[in-house]
Amino acid sequence: MNQESDEEVDFNDFIDKMFFEEPREPNSICINWDKRNINELFNKLLRIFTEGVRIMGHDSSIEQTGDILYNFTPNDIIKLQRYFNSLGYKINYKITHRNIVLKLRAYILNNKKCVFKDNDIQNYKNIYPSQIFVSDLVNQSTIQTKNLTDKNTFFSSKDLYFFLNFEAL
């Protein structure tokens, strides 16, 4: 799993070796991808993320990624970040309440019948200060870009949304 090796490695073996050991030093694990195709890199990182979350959630294969993230502790997030640092990437994430997302979607769709009052939304923003934007709700596959940080995705569980993207260290 060092940077000099270009041989193809089975994905499941790679994931098991990575997440069943302690995180390595930053930039110590290389993943191969077509440098002209940022979608390929994003999809690989996302697949590594979802499998890593599943393993860190004690092999919760029945649960969805959002459900596992819902139960993550701050230490779990820090450890997951360290795993991605070993790949040479950083996870940027935001957590926000479902009603803030629904209010933004209503605004986008010009839905005048939105039932969320602004003072209720403000209370949620105080609890979950991460600011979300229209771009956070756009499906990453529709974004044409050469920048990894422009690609994002989200997971949801119960009353929370988890937005994330990746950035090279």
**Residue 146: DSSP 8-state:** S
Ramachandran angles phi, psi of 157, nearest 5° = -160, 130
Counting beta carbons within 10 angstroms of the beta carbon of residue 80, is it exposed (0 to 12), middle (13 to 18) or buried (19 or more)? buried
Report the chain's mean pLDDT, rounded to a whole number: 84
| Structure confidence at residue 28 as a pLDDT band (50, 70, 90) | very high
User: In sequence order, which ranges of 20-70 are alpha helices (DSSP H)?
Assistant: 38-56, 65-70
28 neighbors 4 (Cβ within 8 angstroms): no
Higher per-residue confidence, 100 vs 42: 42
Output the pLDDT for position 4.
42
**Which pLDDT value is given to residue 3?**
44
pLDDT over threshold 70, residue 151: yes
**Per-residue pLDDT at 113:** 72
Which pTM was predicted? 0.82
Structure tokens at 19: 């997440």
- pLDDT tens-digit map of 129-138: 788 888 888 7
Q: What is the pLDDT of residue 6?
A: 47
Q: Is the Cβ–Cβ distance between 95 and 128 less than 8 Å?
A: yes
**CB 116, CB 102: distance < 8 Å:** yes
Q: Is the dihedral of CA 21, 12, 164, 97 positive or negative?
A: negative
Q: Over the stretch 52-76, which tens digit does the pLDDT of each residue have? A: 999 988 766 656 889 999 999 999 9
| Stretch 5-24: mean pLDDT | 80
Reply yes or no on whether the pLDDT at 50 is more than 90.
yes
Determine the straight-line distance between the first and last CA of the chain, rounded to whole angstroms: 18
What does the pLDDT look like over 92-146, one tens digit per residue?
999 998 888 888 888 777 777 766 666 667 777 777 778 888 888 877 666 788 8
Average pLDDT over residues 150-160: 91
